[in-house]
Amino acid sequence: MTAQSTTWPNPKLARDRQAAMYRRAKATLPGGTNSNFRAWGDDTVYVDRGKGGRVWDIDGNEYIDLRMGYGPVILGHGDERVDDYVNERMRLGVSFSLTSEDEVRAMELLRELNPWVAKARMTVSGTEATMHAMRIARAYTGRNKIVKFEGQYHGVHDYALISVLPNEMADLGDQDNPVGLAWGRGIPEAVARTIIPARYNNLELLRRLFEREADDIAAIIVEPVLGNAQGILPRPGFHQAMRALTEEFGILLIFDEVKTGFRFARGGAAEYFGITPDLATYAKAMGNGYPAAAFGGREEVMDMLPGKVSHGGTYAGNRVAAAAAVKTLEILRDTDALATVKATGERIQAGVRGLLDAKGLAYHLTGHPSMFGIMFREEVATEYRDWATTDHELYDAIAVGMHARGAMPEPDSREPWFVCEAHAQGDTVDRIVTIFGESLDTALEQRARGGSLPHEREAAYADS
């Protein structure tokens, strides 16, 4: 990396080219990016390339990537096994709106790794997958409403953007009567009213909700861990109890495995937690970064297609995505890639733990070693509202310091660190731990001096 050491608070990174690109991009792309989540203002990162577990921005700064594209890149950037296969297949043509063997093969592999899934269909994004899963659940049950948990992210369609990211936790409503809070404008009230918010790990609230409205609840959709809050874990037995509750009330259970699928285990969180949902959605790790996604589930539910429910998409099952899914899923099936990812995550966690224990800080690690978070809080967090009482100021300051030192976790204390197979190589784990330790020291020293901590991305980059 090209960071030059300065005394305070962190080394500075070269930024000139990115600053110029930001000015240029803002003229055509709102916020200078193609997603709100990448629009980091003056600190927006413009990437040049990635290889394995590393990325380089256009100023030549090198980082160990701990975002991995928000999770899809399970093997590593530019994985030649996947890229070569995709290249070979795409030369045969990409889009026909006809069905290729790659698509059939991809869904056969999905089913092989998730044996409870009888049938599945491809989409291009996780957003589409959750939208279609919700629709098919409504069609199958003849009911209108969907329950979702506060703080869980299921993509950017109207039905998913309820009670995701409040400005203040109080906006989510009373603990016993959470309100549906639309994230951003433009979501019709009539749509928002069909989504009922619940609180993760709170079975009593769920039961009351089901007792009150089950006649009109088609499904509950759940990220098996709270991926939008450092991967907060279910309490022991939570998923089993929720499964039983849904069966009692004839409500479908949708596991949103977009982050956890092909990551927690070959069979995703369903395998990991020993749950058989009715429907599941997949994306991210399924294609190692190519836009492969799918929804699938029990035979009689999926058999609503093609006759009774609308589903389509010009790019659904396109050759690039299907070939990427075939090769990625074959690798995950035939190699110990996921065991490597887990073991590597555990090594990083052990290093981080050692440093934090030595400081006597109150913290806990959340999630799964392949996708974990660090929460500065005395008690273990059990739901999204708990995030507000973490020391996220400290976390943000550490993340800023890590960027400046050449490792890039998301500079938002809600997003977990993502581990890929390539992170196992060379001295990557040691470097992550060293960088974390230095950033932690800097943040704590600054706080001890009574200084304000650099918030989120502030102060990570040199003035340009």
Ligand X SMILES: Cc1ncc(COP(=O)(O)O)c(C=O)c1O
Instruction: Give me the helix-helix angle, 319-334 and 80-90, nearest 10°.
Output: 150
Task: Judge contact between 110 and 295, C-beta under 8 A.
Answer: no
Considering only residues 173 to 212 of the shown chain, the ones binding ligand X according to CB under 6 A are: none
- Report, in Å, the least distance between residue 114 CB and ligand X: 16
DSSP string for 81-117:
HHHHHHHHHHTT-S--SS--HHHHHHHHHHHHHSTT-
Strands of the sheet containing 371-375, edge to edge, are: 364-368, 371-375, 417-418
- The phi, psi pair for 34, rounded to 5°, reads -100, 10
Taking CB under 6 A as the rule, does residue 127 contact ligand X? yes
Taking CB under 6 A as the rule, does residue 227 contact ligand X? yes
Among the listed residues 130, 246, 318, 390, the single contact to ligand X using CB under 6 A: 130
**Geometric angle at alpha carbon 447, from 446 and 451, rounded to 5°:** 70
For ligand X, the closer CB: 52 or 71: 71
Taking CB under 6 A as the rule, does residue 153 contact ligand X? yes
284 is catalytic: yes
Among the listed residues 44, 114, 125, 366, the single contact to ligand X using CB under 6 A: 125
Instruction: Pick the stretch among 252-260, 272-280, 385-393, 435-443 that binds ligand X (CB under 6 A).
Output: 252-260
Q: Which residues contact 149 (CB under 8 A, 6 or more apart)?
A: 197, 198, 199, 200, 222, 223, 226, 383, 384
- Report, in Å, the least distance between residue 442 CB and ligand X: 30
Among the listed residues 32, 126, 180, 406, the single contact to ligand X using CB under 6 A: 126
256 is catalytic: yes
Cis, peptide link before residue 369, omega less than 30° from 0: no
Instruction: Pick the stretch among 55-63, 85-93, 253-261, 338-346 that binds ligand X (CB under 6 A).
Output: 253-261
Using CB under 6 A, count the residues that bind ligand X: 15
Taking CB under 6 A as the rule, does residue 155 contact ligand X? yes
Among the listed residues 121, 138, 154, 239, the single contact to ligand X using CB under 6 A: 154
Q: Are strands 364-368 and 47-51 parallel, antiparallel or unpaired?
A: unpaired
Taking CB under 6 A as the rule, does residue 258 contact ligand X? yes
SS3 category, 13 = strand
Taking CB under 6 A as the rule, does residue 259 contact ligand X? yes
- Report, in Å, the least distance between residue 257 CB and ligand X: 8
CA dihedral 333, 92, 284, 36 (to 10 degrees): 170
- Report, in Å, the least distance between residue 123 CB and ligand X: 9
153 is catalytic: yes
Q: Which two tokens stand for residue 30?
A: 């709102």
Q: What is the helix (H) or strand (E) element at residue 218, kind and residue range?
A: strand 217-222
- Report, in Å, the least distance between residue 156 CB and ligand X: 6
User: Which of 178, 126, 153 has its CA nearest to residue 230?
Assistant: 153
Instruction: Pick the stretch among 105-113, 254-262, 318-326, 424-432 that binds ligand X (CB under 6 A).
Output: 254-262
Considering the candidates 256, 278, 386, 391, report the single residue annotated as catalytic.
256
Tell me the residue nearest to ligand X as measured from the CB: 126
The length of the chain, given as a count of residues? 464
Considering the candidates 145, 259, 284, 342, report the single residue annotated as catalytic.
284
Question: Where on the chain is the footprint of ligand X (CB under 6 A)?
Answer: 70, 125-127, 130, 153-155, 223, 227, 256, 258-259, 283, 293
Residues forming the active site: 153, 256, 284
